[in-house]
Every structure is written in C-alpha cells, then in structure tokens.
C-alpha cells in the first residue's frame, strides 16, 4: 500500500495526461486544458469516463447520447466523435497507429485509464488511505488524506453533463462518496479534539442533508463535547421527528444509544487524546475476528488497486454444496435472460423469486449462483431473515474487499454499495428470505454492473415485472425428485405421494430422505402418511432446507392477525385449488348459527368488507394464499391446509371449524348472485 500511495503523492507532475470528472469534465494535456469539441462530443467523453475501463456498447452510446431518439446518421456521428476524441487523448500517436486509450472493444469502445491521472481514482485512493489511517488510530494522517480527497472536487461531479440520464447513477454515487468522506474527516477531527471547529462544518452539512444519520450523530457529539448538551439533544430530537415524518422510520440504534448516553452524560462520550500506540496494532479482548477464510476466497486490494478498479474474485460458500435441482430449467433460463439484458446502462438488474415457504426459492437462487458463478467476479450471499444481522452480512464482505477501513465504517451496507458501483466486472448479490418489499429499503445497490437476486415469501410487490413466481413442481418432476432422494423406483407410489404433497419440494425432499434413512419404501411411507400425517411432517431432514413441513410456516402463522388466522382456519377444510371467497364470505349469514369459539373470530369477516379484504391481503403477503383471478377465487396449498388442520386437531377445535366450513358452503348466496 505504501509504494502505491507514494506513486500518487510523489510524481503527479510526471503524468502528461489528466482526466477530471469531479467538476466539469476536463482533459488536461501537458498542463493545459484540451478542447473536447462540441457539446455532444464532450458528453460522449463524459459517458466513456463514467464507464472507464469497461466496454460500452455502441447501441448504448447512441441510446444515451440522443436520449432514445437518435437521428439516422447517429452511427456516423459517433464514429466522427470517437476519431476526434482520439486525437485529443493521444496527441502524439503516429498516423495509422492503433489507438491505445480510446480503444475499439466489442461491442463498442473502452476508455483505458492506464498511465493517466484520473481524479475519481485519486479521490478513491485518498479516501481509502484516510480510512486506513483511522483504523490505525492515526486521525491526524486521516485528516490529511481526507483533505486531499476533498480538495480534488471543483464542483458537482460531471457538472457540464450531469443532467443526462446516463450520468445520474455515477453522479449520485460520487456525491454519496464525497459526503461519506466529509463525515469521516469530521470524525477524525473529533478524535483530535477539534469539536469546536467541527460544529460549524457539521451544522452546514446537516442543514443541507438532514436525513443523513451519521452526520447528525457527529454534530450531536461535537455539540456535546463543546459543552452544548441541550443543543445536542435538540439535534437528535429534530432528526427523530424528521425521520418519522418524512420516511416513517425510527432513528437507527446508534442515534438512539447516543441520545441515551447524552442524557446520562456517559463518560464514554468525553474526548480523550489519541493513544500513542495505534489501536490497530493492539490485541484486545473482544476485538472483531479476522474474516473466516472459508466464507469466501479472496485477496485484499490496496488503495491504488481500489482506485483503478482492480478487483479480486470473491465467491461466498453459501453458493457451494447444493444438491441437484430438479424441474427448474425454465426458471433458470428466465433469470439468465433477465440478467443479460443489454439495456442495463450501468445500473444493476434485480429480480425477486416469490412463493410459498418450502417451494424452493432459496435452492433456485443457489442453483443460479452456482451455475453462473464463472460469469461473475463476485458472488455474495446475504441472509435477510434477521434484519438486525444484515449489516454484519455486508461487513463480512467489506472485510474482504477493504479490510483497511472495514472496522471504521458506520454503514457497511452503503460502503459495499459504493465499492460495487465502482467495481470492474460483473457481480451477483443474493438477498435471501426478505420478509417484505419494505425490508429491501437501502439494501439494493443503485449503481454498478451487477445483478441482485432476492427471495421472499411475500406475495405482493410494487413492480410485478421484477417478480418471478416459483411454483410447486409439476407431477413428473415431483415424482423424479422423490424417487431420486428415496432410492425407491416405485413410480406408482411416487406419483400418488407427489400429488398428496402438492408438488412442494420441501415436503418431497423430506419424504424422500425419510424413506432413504428408514426401513420403509415409498408404498409403506404413503400408507403411513395417510394415518400419521402430522407426525411425519415433523420427521426427516431435507437437504437445502433448514425447517420441516411442520415448522416452515410457523413464523408466518404466529404473526397473523386474528382475522387472517380465522380465514386460514376456515379455508383449511375445502378443496385447495379453487376456493370462491366471494361465495363463502358474502353468503347470507343473517340466520346462520356458527359454533363458538369460531363465531366470535369469523363473524367480522362475514359482516365487514374491510376486515375481509385486509385478512385476504395479509395471507397473500405471507405467501399462504394465492389469488387466481380478480373475481375472488383463491388457492391454498394442500400442505398449508394440512398443517393448519393438524394444529386445530391438536387443540380439539377442528370439529367447530369443520361445522363452520360446511355451514358457509351450504348457506344461500346473496340476492342476485348465482352459487358457484
């Protein structure tokens, strides 16, 4: 790292060409600003600069330069602009010699930054060096590095072309990086005891960016150390109110803890001079362990490598060790087609695999990642079932990509996003088991040449085009799976069992593994299943599934509201494929007598349309119910029905629910409605 850093600091004047994007786009040759030509030619250079060291397709160039409405001569114009830019970028290139800076590279052009001072790369290197200094408890060095990074800025990034749609992701990424460095500089200043001087800078920063929690945290701490405790608490309370009003969220744990500490005047908030021995060299109890070498294979980039886009290969071990996936060729093909869309324009593409718990969403995501991992330079897996653990999943990746400042950063998710946005080559991020669309807020990278694959049981998503529903296996594939895992070739029993289990991969795998590790064959298991279903739902370990049929939906069951659970209890007793809710829940129930305790919980669904629709929506959101059509027909998977019925039977409530289901089925339809 020291040698790479010295090259940046000791010999900047030796470079003959400089590219600048942290302000108006500029090329400096031998100390003089070069003429980049007319506006569209200048915009073309800005476009290449935003994708530096990555090939840009000609079709994308034409689409972006003319905002989707190119003239007939667009191709000829692009070639002329490229020719002119090559003369600017390589003024000493002999005639007919091949271009080495703005190169022709299928399917278009590539701007090669080798041997060039590019201010974006310099900014990234200075910022990384500053964070490394902070991690070594050297705040004075950190302030110097951060000052050097911020000193490169001459205004808004890509200022003269920033209004173009293609520039927006890169401009946003760089602005986020600048703000992060500014906050890191203030943090270093606070470590040096400069809280009085930091207050003015942070007040302006928070006034301009009031929703940045880290900036608010630093300002409150600076005010407290400056003896202004009431103002510090005021900043935190205004921030809390603004987050609640504008975003509908509470402050993060760090801000909440800081408010508590200020109220009790915790000694930990007081300033202490930096230690003479860098903290990074001390071995302290409880210090974070080094990244688990089995979690991913990687080498560490230096700041210079980070600045020039150098990227090591990283593959999470969650991708490895998958059992054979049967019957998912169509889904894998659809995912690959979506992720190879040439119209990404430097932005990540994301898709969501949705479906019932146990239908195989995670296995499908792993199968995709495993099959196509050679197409990605980075494949990382984030387990999202516990929202509080998600930052740790990203920090583990940050420990690999940039260990020199991973410990310092307060927001590992955004830090990883920034690195992915500037990473050479493609990457794949799998976010597994997201509870609901809202839980994705802040987790999806906004820029970079990558793909994001999400799995979720949630059945409702704002953008349906991004959703790929995962269905139970077809009968032939279900039979293939259960015979393969059981080792029993009895196809007749396999067909019947596949139907009984509704083609659900979890149930099929659980049954197949139970047979494989017991004295039963498929025929005997089928016979036993019909009389001991509830017990068998708890038996057998299915590879690639952490839960059994009996437990996989329990978390969703526990979170259901009373009306939603009542609706599920009712639907457990009907044929699963096509249940007409309009017919059942709008029946003429004025004289209908329902048994208790069913009547108490079910009556609101029958008499209040709002309660009814809320319960239906809730079951759909948990993936427990599928709407077949707007007319009210729904499907409940037969195993969801079975587990629900088994729970009611265990509680001795099944008789009342069966009677209620029969009574509603026999109740007369409302006036004017034909029973269906």
Q: Given a cut of 80, is residue 592 above it in pLDDT?
A: no
Q: Given a cut of 80, is residue 668 above it in pLDDT?
A: no
Supply the range of the domain harboring residue 331.
Answer: 311-469
Which of 604, 593, 597 has the alpha carbon at shortest distance from 657? 597
Is 481 found in the same domain as 404? no
What pLDDT sits at residue 288? 35
Q: Does residue 181 lie within any of the structural domains?
A: yes
Q: pTM for the complete prediction? A: 0.50
- Beta strand 102-105 pairing with 108-111: antiparallel
Is 449 found in the same domain as 334? yes
Q: Cα–Cα–Cα angle for 430, 434, 436, nearest 5°?
A: 140
Q: CATH number for the domain including 199?
A: 1.25.40.10
Is 658 found in the same domain as 569? yes
Q: Does residue 286 lie within any of the structural domains?
A: no
In the DSSP assignment, the letter for residue 29 is E
User: What is the tally of helices (H) and strands (E) in the chain?
Assistant: 29, 16
Q: Does residue 251 lie within any of the structural domains?
A: yes
Is 480 found in the same domain as 427? no
* Strand intervals (E) in 176-257: none
Which residue, 221, 239, 271, sits at the end of a domain?
A: 271
Is 568 found in the same domain as 430? no
Quick one: which H or E segment has residue 65?
A: helix 58-65
Neighbours of 481 (CB within 10 A): 25
Is 218 found in the same domain as 99? no
Which of 676, 562, 572, 548 has the alpha carbon at shortest distance from 624? 572
pLDDT band for 524, please (50, 70, 90 cuts): confident
Q: Please give the Cα distance from 440 to 434 (Å, whole number).
A: 7
pLDDT band for 155, please (50, 70, 90 cuts): very high
For the segment 70-85, the average pLDDT, to the nearest whole number, is 93
Q: CATH number for the domain including 72?
A: 1.10.10.10
Per-residue pLDDT reduced to its tens digit, 478-501 = 898 888 888 888 888 888 888 888
Q: Please give the Cα distance from 356 to 104 (Å, whole number).
A: 48
Q: Please give the Cα distance from 563 to 568 (Å, whole number).
A: 9
Phi and psi for 118 in degrees, rounded to 5?
Answer: -110, 120
Number of domains in the chain: 5
Burial class for 287, CB neighbours closer than 10 Å (0-12, 13-18, 19+): exposed
Q: Given a cut of 70, is residue 671 above it in pLDDT?
A: no
pLDDT band for 344, please (50, 70, 90 cuts): low
Q: Cα–Cα–Cα angle for 522, 525, 530, nearest 5°?
A: 130
Is 245 found in the same domain as 175? yes
Q: Does residue 160 lie within any of the structural domains?
A: no
Q: Does residue 613 lie within any of the structural domains?
A: yes
Q: CATH number for the domain including 443?
A: 3.40.50.300
| Sign of the four-CA dihedral 453, 457, 462, 466 | positive
Contacting residues for 481 by C-beta, under 8 A, at least 6 apart: 326, 327, 473, 505, 508, 509, 512
What pLDDT sits at residue 179? 95
Which residue, 214, 247, 271, sits at the end of a domain?
A: 271
Is 559 found in the same domain as 509? no
What three-state secondary structure class fits 23? coil
Q: Does residue 484 lie within any of the structural domains?
A: yes
Is 186 found in the same domain as 48? no
Which residue, 469, 490, 510, sits at the end of a domain?
A: 469
Is 400 found in the same domain as 322? yes
pLDDT band for 543, please (50, 70, 90 cuts): low
Q: Does residue 543 lie within any of the structural domains?
A: no
For the segment 432-447, the average pLDDT, to the nearest whole number, is 85
Query: Alpha carbon of 190 to those of 139, 143, 145, 225, 497: distances in Å?
Result: 9, 10, 16, 9, 67
Is 497 found in the same domain as 425? no
* Strand intervals (E) in 344-414: 349-354, 378-383
Q: Does residue 153 lie within any of the structural domains?
A: no
Given strand 32-33, what is the order of strands in its sheet?
A: 32-33, 26-29, 17-20, 117-118
Is 197 found in the same domain as 79? no
> For residue 27, is it left (φ>0), alpha (ψ between -120 and 50) or beta?
beta
What pLDDT sits at residue 415? 81
Burial class for 420, CB neighbours closer than 10 Å (0-12, 13-18, 19+): buried
């Amino acid at each position: 790292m020291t040698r790479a850093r010295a090259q940046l600091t000791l010999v900047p004047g030796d470079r003959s060409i400089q590219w600048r994007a942290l302000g108006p786009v500029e090329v400096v040759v031998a100390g003089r600003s070069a003429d980049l030509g007319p506006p569209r030619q200048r915009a073309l250079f800005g476009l290449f600069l935003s994708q530096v060291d990555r090939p840009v397709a000609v079709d994308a160039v034409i689409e972006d330069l003319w905002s989707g409405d190119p003239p007939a001569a667009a191709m000829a114009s692009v070639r002329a602009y490229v020719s002119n830019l090559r003369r600017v970028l390589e003024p000493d290139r002999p005639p007919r010699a091949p271009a080495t800076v703005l190169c022709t590279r299928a399917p278009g052009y590539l701007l090669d930054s080798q041997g060039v001072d590019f201010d974006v790369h310099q900014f990234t290197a200075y910022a990384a060096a500053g964070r490394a200094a902070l991690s070594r408890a050297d705040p004075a060095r950190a302030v110097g590095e951060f000052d050097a990074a911020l000193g490169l800025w001459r205004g808004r990034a890509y200022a003269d072309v920033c209004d173009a749609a293609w520039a927006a992701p890169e401009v946003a990424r760089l602005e986020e990086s600048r703000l992060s460095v500014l906050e890191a500089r203030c943090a270093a200043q606070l470590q040096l005891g400069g809280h009085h001087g930091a207050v003015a800078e942070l007040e302006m920063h928070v006034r301009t960016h009031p929703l940045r929690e880290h900036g608010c945290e630093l300002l409150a701490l600076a005010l407290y150390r400056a003896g202004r405790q009431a103002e510090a608490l005021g900043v935190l309370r205004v921030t809390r109110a603004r987050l609640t009003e504008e975003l509908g969220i509470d402050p993060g744990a760090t801000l909440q803890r800081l408010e508590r500490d200020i109220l009790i005047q915790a000694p930990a908030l007081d300033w202490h001079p930096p230690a003479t021995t860098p903290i990074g060299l001390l071995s302290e109890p409880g210090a974070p362990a080094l990244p688990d070498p089995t979690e991913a294979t990687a080498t560490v980039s230096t700041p210079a490598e980070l600045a020039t886009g150098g990227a090591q290969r990283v593959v999470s071990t969650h991708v490895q060790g998958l059992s054979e996936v049967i019957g998912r060729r169509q889904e894998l093909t659809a995912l690959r087609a979506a992720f190879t869309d040439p119209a990404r324009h430097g932005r990540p593409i994301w898709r969501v695999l949705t479906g019932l718990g146990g239908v195989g969403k995670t296995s499908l995501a792993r199968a995709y990642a495993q099959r196509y991992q050679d197409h990605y330079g980075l494949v990382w897996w984030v387990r999202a079932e516990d929202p509080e653990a998600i930052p740790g999943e990203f920090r583990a990746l940050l420990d690999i990509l940039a260990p020199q400042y991973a410990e310092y950063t307060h927001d590992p998710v955004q830090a990883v996003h920034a690195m992915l946005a500037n990473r050479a080559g493609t990457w794949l991020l799998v976010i597994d088991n997201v509870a609901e669309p809202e839980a994705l807020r802040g987790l999806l990278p906004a820029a970079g040449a990558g793909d994001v694959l999400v799995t979720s049981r949630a059945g409702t998503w704002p953008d349906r085009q991004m959703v790929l529903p995962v269905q139970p296996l077809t009968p032939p594939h279900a039979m293939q799976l259960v015979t393969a895992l059981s080792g029993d070739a009895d196809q007749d029993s396999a067909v019947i069992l596949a139907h009984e289990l509704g083609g659900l991969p979890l149930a099929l795998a659980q049954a197949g593994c139970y047979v494989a590790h017991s004295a039963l064959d498929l025929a005997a298991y089928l016979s036993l299943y019909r009389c001991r279903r509830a017990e068998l739902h708890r038996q057998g370990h299915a590879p690639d599934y952490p839960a059994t049929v009996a437990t996989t939906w329990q978390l969703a069951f526990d979170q259901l509201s009373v009306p939603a659970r009542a609706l599920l209890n009712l639907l457990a007793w009907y044929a699963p494929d096509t249940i007409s809710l309009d017919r059942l829940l709008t029946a003429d129930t004025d004289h209908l007598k329902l048994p208790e305790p069913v009547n108490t919980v079910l009556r609101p669904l029958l008499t209040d349309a709002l309660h009814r629709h809320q319960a239906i929506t809730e079951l759909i959101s948990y993936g427990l119910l599928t709407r077949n059509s707007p007319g009210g027909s729904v499907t409940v998977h037969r195993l969801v029905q079975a587990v629900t019925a088994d729970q009611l039977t265990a509680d001795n409530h099944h008789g009342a629910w069966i009677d209620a289901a029969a009574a509603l089925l026999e109740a007369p339809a409302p006036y004017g409605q034909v029973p269906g």
